Structure 1
Amino acid sequence: MPSQVPLDRWFSSERAMGVGASVLIGLVTVTAWSTAWSDWNLYRTRRTYGDDAAELSEANLISGSLGIVAALALFAAAVVFIVWLWRVRWNAEMFCRGEHRYSRGWVLGCWLVPVVNLWYPKQIVDDIVAASDQRTDPLTPDLKDVPGTRLVWAWWLTWVAGLVTGNIVQRGVLAGASQLGDLRTNVILSSVSALFTTGAAVLAVILIQRIDELQSARPWVPWWAVGTPQNGFQPPAR
């Protein structure tokens, strides 16, 4: 066990990054409902004007434009959230010796790899929460043995539900739908997706605040210094 702090490592507050992620997550919620409205507008236009090319072209333009804005908002929120997650994971590794289930590279990779992105991110967040909680012994050998929280479960289930209804079903099966019945189904799925996205966004903001509170409340003492005299124990210059 090291007797002093490695010169390239120390804790850092990620509150500002968390606030930035929260704001962008809120923007994603707004764009989700805007997209749902554009889908409803396309359905209403088709039902009211039938095959009128001018009306349908305008409705499609609105739908496509809002879709691009929604995609950009989601991308920006994802980038900032992952950067925040990377940084709080760094803090978590300092707080607790316990082994995380996945290496730090998976903090990014877990969102990009199909199938495993349905559960890896939750487990990564579970380990960060466990390591950040001051009730967790800093010398705990394995973080997967620490029980998860209902907050993480609720956030992840609503996120996956929104992902399934919004991306897999709506964007995959019904992409390019033109029949009135398909457009009506598209409206329903888009609204359900927006509802789940809103729930996941609210829970994500609460989760960000919770992790910040945990990491702020826990003494900034690295696990390898626990039980050693603190006199003369100084963080490296930053």
Structure 2
Amino acid sequence: MSRTKTSAPTTRGRRVPKNWKPVGTRAIVASALIALVLVTDVLETVADVSGAAALDAVLLWVNAGALVVAAVAFIMWLWRARANAELLVGPHGQRLTREWVIGAWICPVVNLWFPYRVVVDVWRASAPDRGNIRDGLVVWWWMTFLVSWLFTRYITLAGIVDAGPLVVSCALDVASGVFALLVVRRISDWQALARG
């Protein structure tokens, strides 16, 4: 029996690196869960502002659970996207090691900018025209995420329950979530184009 050497699979005439894995499914799952967080956040805010305490309590728990699951799905997507980005530009094209995809979110103090660095490096590596890439969308996502997180912590710790700050907090959450959805979509589309 003769053995034939098999080559890496190709798509549209290009060689796909051995460890390349599409991010499409992970992107869809992460995006659906982020959207669920946004919907439950809006519903919970409406219930809170309108004084529906029982519904607000239920939606608060649903939103918290959805947020945890969405965060895990986002990190799983980012892990795979980061691995693919390394295949596109090499390990030196990323400022942080792959372990920071997880550690950046949980390590105090550096979690204020390391997640941004991980995502922006993946963004730049995945872009089809790396020479002319603009980071504006990633910057908007990270800024709205940080402001939303800090503002929500502030009103929670201060015990503020007025409708105005609650609506502002929800609006910041929604803006951050929409930007996150756009970032996931753009990186995933770019990586799909890069390999076929």
- TM-score for both structures, normalised by structure 1: 0.69
Does residue 123 of the first structure (1) align with residue 117 of the second (2)? yes
Q: Paired residues, what number?
A: 181
Partner of 1:163: 149
Which stretches in structure 1 are left out of the alignment for 5+ residues?
43-57, 138-145, 175-181, 221-238
Candidates 114, 126, 133, aligned match of 2:127 = 133
Name the larger-Rg structure: 1
2:112 & 2:61 partners in 1: Cα distance?
Answer: 24
Partner of 1:108: 102
Q: Residues 35 and 190 of structure 1 are in contact (CA less than 8 Å); yes or no, is this contact kept in structure 2? A: no
1:183 partner SS: coil
2:111 & 2:57 partners in 1: Cα distance?
Answer: 27
Does residue 29 of the first structure (1) align with residue 38 of the second (2)? yes
Candidates 78, 86, 91, aligned match of 1:85 = 78
Aligned positions of 1:28-47 closer than 5 A: 28-42=37-51
> What is the identity, as a one-letter code, of the residue corresponding to 1:201?
G
1:91 & 1:134 partners in 2: Cα distance?
Answer: 14
2:24 & 2:133 partners in 1: Cα distance?
Answer: 25
Any idea what the Cα deviations from partners look like across 1:129-183, whole Å, max 9, x if unmatched? 111123348xxxxxxxx975101011111111211122x1122221xxxxxxx43
4+ residue runs over 6 A deviation: none
Partner of 2:188: 212
Q: Residues 132 and 211 of structure 1 are in contact (CA less than 8 Å); yes or no, is this contact kept in structure 2? A: yes
1:18 & 1:26 partners in 2: Cα distance?
Answer: 12
1:64 & 1:172 partners in 2: Cα distance?
Answer: 18
1:151 & 1:162 partners in 2: Cα distance?
Answer: 16
2:18 & 2:155 partners in 1: Cα distance?
Answer: 45
1:171 & 1:100 partners in 2: Cα distance?
Answer: 36
Which stretches in structure 2 are left out of the alignment for 5+ residues?
1-6, 9-16
- TM-score for both structures, normalised by structure 2: 0.83
Shift of 1:71: 0.4
Shift of 1:219: 4.2
2:191 & 2:184 partners in 1: Cα distance?
Answer: 11
